[in-house]
């Protein structure tokens, strides 16, 4: 009897977990992963909400990360192994929006895992 109850509970929990992951959530995660790998062309616009003036516009293959201190880091791939890193301090009157310029086909049934070799394999210098 207890085994049946545990089995039924497990099936219910797994069903809730499975149905809680909608196609939209999976597609969103996959698009975010593609953007972090510089495969999504974006336009990031920073503007002053009081003056309605654009402060900065960045277009390209961008990865965006909001830091704990409220600032924003935008990494842009400009060449095969060349990147630019931009910082912007957000405030009560300066904000941003990021627009994906081109559609990207991603799967809602599969996901990708990217490993950074520099994180897995330590950099060992010879003496």
Query: Are the C-beta atoms of residues 40 and 100 closer than 8 Å to each other?
Result: yes
Enter the tokens of residue 110: 């599969």
Per residue in 30-45, pLDDT (tens digit) is 778 888 888 888 888 8
For residues 60 and 16, what is the distance between their CA atoms, to the nearest angstrom? Answer: 39
Q: Is the pTM of this model over 0.85?
A: no
Per residue in 63-109, pLDDT (tens digit) is 888 888 878 899 899 888 899 998 888 888 888 878 777 776 665 65
> Residue for token digits 């069903």?
15
For residues 111 and 125, what is the distance between their CA atoms, to the nearest angstrom? Answer: 35
């Amino acid at each position: 009897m207890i085994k049946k109850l545990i089995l039924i509970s497990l099936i219910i929990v797994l069903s809730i977990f499975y149905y809680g992951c909608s196609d939209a959530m999976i597609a969103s995660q996959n698009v975010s992963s593609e953007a972090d790998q510089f495969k999504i062309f974006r336009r990031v616009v920073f503007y002053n909400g009081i003056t309605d003036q654009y402060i900065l516009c960045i277009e390209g293959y961008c990865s965006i990360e909001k830091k704990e201190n409220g600032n924003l880091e935008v990494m842009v791939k400009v060449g095969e192994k060349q990147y630019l890193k931009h910082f912007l301090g957000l405030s009560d009157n300066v904000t941003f929006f990021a627009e994906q310029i081109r559609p990207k086909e991603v799967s809602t049934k599969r996901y990708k895992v990217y490993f950074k070799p520099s994180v897995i394999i330590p950099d060992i210098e010879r003496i």
